[in-house]
């Protein structure tokens, strides 16, 4: 299966043009797509619903959207039923059995721009395997703002099985379709997105485990492995964006340790021009 993560910067490409058709072309062929910075009804993108447009361009996919930012549009009327939103989108050729939307810890600010970040969690039925997919976007401001978000992300992952499915238990007498009540939550998970941190950061260590004095990382079974490394790539390579003009590694695919040996490849699409980030493609045997 082919997975791709892409911070699309609301479709604004290197040429300055907002072009969602270009974004759709650049992720075409993926089985599961995790997008970040997808907006709805903002002036800088022509007040369009980007979720509606992207899903029109990608009609063969199931999808789930979760906004971190959800605010009133000035002078809008109730009958317009529109909100100004900014968040993450998961698209899948396979059914999304259920999804959850999680808001991450946020620091208030009277100076630097602080944006509410969030995660979309989607449980995908891949046939023989079910897996939880997370489209993640962490804060851009500082390590101090991201570390609480990473802690929350890990807590969400580790609590998922214990919390159970969105509806579970005995639904006797409730008119829901057969099978809703006995859908267990899979242990396997894949995190994809813009983590806004480099591989030498404490945030990265918190996710992938601290480095060992003898090589490798100390990663628990309920932790995560960087798919880029699992595929045999050098972790000092693979720039996906830049920070103030300096190339940076900000986008990742992290997989449950039980999946690490199924990772066949992980690559950056350096030819993509649809955003200020580059798509990260990962191929995993399922």
- Report the chain (286 residues): mean pLDDT per 10 consecutive residues: 98 97 98 98 95 98 97 90 95 96 97 97 91 98 98 98 84 61 84 98 98 94 98 96 94 98 98 98 96
Identify which of 62, 269, 272, 198 has the alpha carbon closest to the alpha carbon of residue 283: 269
| Tokens of residue 260, six digits | 């690490």
Sheet holding 130-137, edge to edge: 96-103, 118-125, 130-137, 189-194, 251-255, 225-226
> In the prediction, which pLDDT does 80 show?
86
> In the prediction, which pLDDT does 184 show?
83
Give the distance from CA 259 to its chain's centroid.
Answer: 18
The pTM of the full predicted model, rounded to 2 decimals, is 0.95
Query: b/e map of 231-263 (b: 16 or more CB within 10 Å)?
Result: bebeeeebebbeeeeeebbbbbbbbbbebbebb
Instruction: Quickly list DSSP for 66-85.
Output: EEEEEEPPTT--GGG---EE
Residues in the chain: 286
Write out the E strands in the chain: 2-7, 32-40, 62-71, 84-92, 96-103, 118-125, 130-137, 189-194, 225-226, 241-243, 246-248, 251-255, 263-268, 280-284
Rounded to whole angstroms, the Cα distance separating 104 from 4 reads 22
Cross-strand pairs, 119 = 102, 136
Which burial class, exposed, middle or buried, applies to 179 when counting CB atoms under 10 A from its CB (0-12, 13-18, 19+)? exposed
Q: What are phi and psi of 248, to 5 degrees?
A: -145, 150
Helix/strand/coil for 20? helix
Rounded to whole angstroms, the Cα distance separating 41 from 67 reads 12
Rounded to whole angstroms, the Cα distance separating 17 from 2 reads 28
> In the prediction, which pLDDT does 180 show?
58
Topology, domain 2-284 = Deoxyribonuclease I; Chain A (3.60.10)
> In the prediction, which pLDDT does 201 show?
98
> In the prediction, which pLDDT does 172 show?
58
Identify which of 33, 6, 3, 40 has the alpha carbon closest to the alpha carbon of residue 278: 6
Helices (H) and strands (E) in the chain, counts: 5, 14
Rounded to whole angstroms, the Cα distance separating 26 from 56 reads 15
Q: Where are the domains of the chain?
A: 2-284
């Amino acid at each position: 299966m082919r997975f791709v993560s892409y911070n699309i910067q609301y479709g604004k490409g290197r040429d300055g043009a907002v072009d969602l058709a270009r974004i759709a072309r650049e992720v075409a062929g993926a089985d599961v797509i995790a997008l970040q910075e997808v907006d709805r009804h903002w002036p800088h993108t022509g007040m369009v619903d980007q979720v509606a447009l992207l899903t029109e361009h990608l009609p063969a996919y199931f999808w789930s959207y979760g906004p971190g930012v959800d605010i009133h549009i000035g002078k809008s009327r109730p009958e317009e039923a529109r909100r100004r939103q900014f968040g993450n989108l998961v698209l899948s050729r396979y059914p999304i059995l259920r999804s959850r939307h999680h808001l991450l810890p946020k620091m208030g600010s009277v100076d630097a721009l602080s944006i509410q970040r969030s995660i979309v969690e989607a449980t995908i039925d891949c046939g023989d395997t079910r897996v939880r997919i997370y489209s993640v976007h962490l804060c851009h401001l500082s390590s101090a703002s991201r570390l609480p978000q990473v802690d929350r992300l890990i807590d969400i992952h580790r609590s998922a099985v214990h919390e159970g499915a969105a509806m579970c238990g005995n639904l006797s007498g409730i008119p829901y379709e057969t099978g809703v009540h006995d859908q267990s939550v899979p242990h396997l998970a894949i995190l994809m997105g813009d983590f806004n941190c480099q591989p030498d950061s404490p945030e990265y260590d918190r996710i992938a485990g601290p480095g060992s004095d003898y090589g490798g990382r100390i990663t628990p079974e309920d932790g995560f492995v960087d798919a880029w490394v699992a595929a045999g790539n050098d972790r000092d390579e693979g720039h996906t964006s830049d920070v103030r003009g300096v190339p940076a590694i900000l986008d990742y695919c992290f997989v449950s340790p039980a999946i690490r040996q199924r990772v066949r490849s992980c690559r950056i699409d350096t030819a993509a021009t649809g955003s200020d980030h580059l798509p990260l493609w990962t191929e995993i045997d399922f």
